[in-house]
Amino acid sequence: MIPITTVQFGQEEEQLVLEVLRSGSVAQGPKVAQLENRFGELFGAPHVVAVNNGTTALVAALQVLDLQPGDEVITSPFTFVATLNAILEAGATATFADIRAEDFNLDPDSVAGRITDRTKVILPVHLYGQMADMDPLEALANDRGLRILEDSAQSHGATYNGRHAGSYGLGTFSLYATKNITTGEGGLITTDDDDIADRLRVLRNQGMRARYVYEMAGNNYRLTDLQAALGIPQLERYASIVDSRRHNAERLIDGLQDVPGIIVPRQLEGRGHVWHQFTVRVTSDAPVDRDEFVQKLAERGVGAGVYYPKLVFDYDAYRTHPRVVMSDVPVAERIVSEVVSLPVHTALTEADLDEIVAAVRAVVGA
């Protein structure tokens, strides 16, 4: 079976983790600082604050914005549940705009129509490794006095007209096991705002400014040096990780772009896609539906994944939630029934790529 995701660590990771183990200081310390600094250097972020996971990163980023009950955060209905959970955890109300089929991300025109007097934050999710259409989103935010928080959990190093994911105000990243860079569990927050960065660091450590001097009601959101040691070498070779993912994506596009009923993903003009996922759409022109497609690929030894099978609010827990405001999102509604992600990770061989292409073609009879 060709798996949909793998983790690959090398000797550098082993050595650095050993170094931390032997140092005897395994909690947050110099390795966390090194991870933050290196991430900031690579992706042009003036401040990087590491936390224990990507969900916490979103929660903390929303918490420092001091949202009041009733304040609204507009986000994508086509995302991992963490995006929504974080908004609710921060005490805000979640509202939704539709997405565009071309990049699976928030449609700025739809966002414009969903802004109310209570809206405080636009929260685009850079899904699958490609950034949302940030120019019009930034213009909207500036126009209406809103904050931007980018859920970049899947888009480390992605760019939009040369600007990195996470550089539009506040950005959050996940370092979970399946993400492009992983520390097992982990998260990062980026910002260019000195004051926000300072508050995030205090919030992360029980609200403590100096020993037993508490400045705010905080929490323990700290990452450990053991985890940071895993992440640092991946940052050093991240360019080659992305090259490999791009190569694989190009091979899959070449092999599949003429297949009737299958729409392959594209890197849009001006965007640097980091190919966290390679997600095709199985349309009604295909001889099988999406779920059969996944099933038949599995029978041929190709692990495919559906990210995500339903809109994020389309569960009882959220449908009846007083702070979840559902709305009509026809494009997202269609897309959830069509998407399938194929393996694109760095462990794929040329033979694997041929096999994936052949399996897809066989399943749809092309």
Ligand X SMILES: *Cc1c(COP(=O)(O)O)cnc(C)c1O
- Binding region for ligand X (CB under 6 A): 53-55, 79-80, 82-83, 125, 151, 153-154, 174, 176, 187
Q: Which residue has the tokens 């709305």?
A: 327
Shortest Å, Cβ 180 to ligand X: 11
| 314, burial (CB in 10 Å: exposed 0-12, middle 13-18, buried 19+) | middle
Nearest to ligand X of 2, 82 (CB atom) = 82
CB of 35 to ligand X, least distance (A): 15
- Using Cβ positions, the residue closest to ligand X within the complex turns out to be 54
Q: How far is the CB of 37 from ligand X (least distance, A)?
A: 21
| Structural tokens at position 159 | 């760019």
Residue 52 or 364: which CB sits closer to ligand X? 52
Nearer to ligand X, 31 or 126 (CB): 126
Q: Tell me the closest approach of the beta carbon of residue 200 to ligand X, in angstroms.
A: 16
Least spacing, CB of residue 337 vs ligand X, in Å: 19
Cα–Cα dist 242/52, whole Å: 24
Beta carbons of 137 and 99 less than 8 angstroms apart: no
Between 200 and 353, CB nearer to ligand X: 200
Give me the amino acid identity at 12.
E
**At CA 355, angle to CA 349 and CA 361, rounded to 5?**
145
CA-based Rg of the chain, rounded to a whole angstrom?
Answer: 21
Strands across the sheet with 147-151, in order? Answer: 47-51, 187-191, 170-174, 147-151, 119-123, 72-75, 93-96, 324-325
Residue-wise burial string across 3-41, b where 16 or more C-beta atoms lie within 10 A, e elsewhere: ebbeeeeeeebeebbeebeeeeeeebbebbebbbebbbe
* 126/290 with CB nearer ligand X: 126
Beta carbon of residue 64, minimum distance to ligand X (angstroms, whole number): 18
Q: Least distance in Å: CB of 176 to ligand X?
A: 4
Whole-Å CA distances, 339 to 174, 309, 335, 345, 364: 22, 8, 6, 18, 15
Phi, psi of 187 (to 5 degrees): -155, 160
Written as one letter, the residue type at 257 is Q
Nearer to ligand X, 190 or 364 (CB): 190
Shorter beta-carbon distance to ligand X: residue 100 or 251: 100
* Token output for 272: 């640097």
Residue 183 Cβ vs ligand X, minimum distance, rounded to whole Å: 10
Cβ distance to ligand X smaller for residue 153 or 259: 153
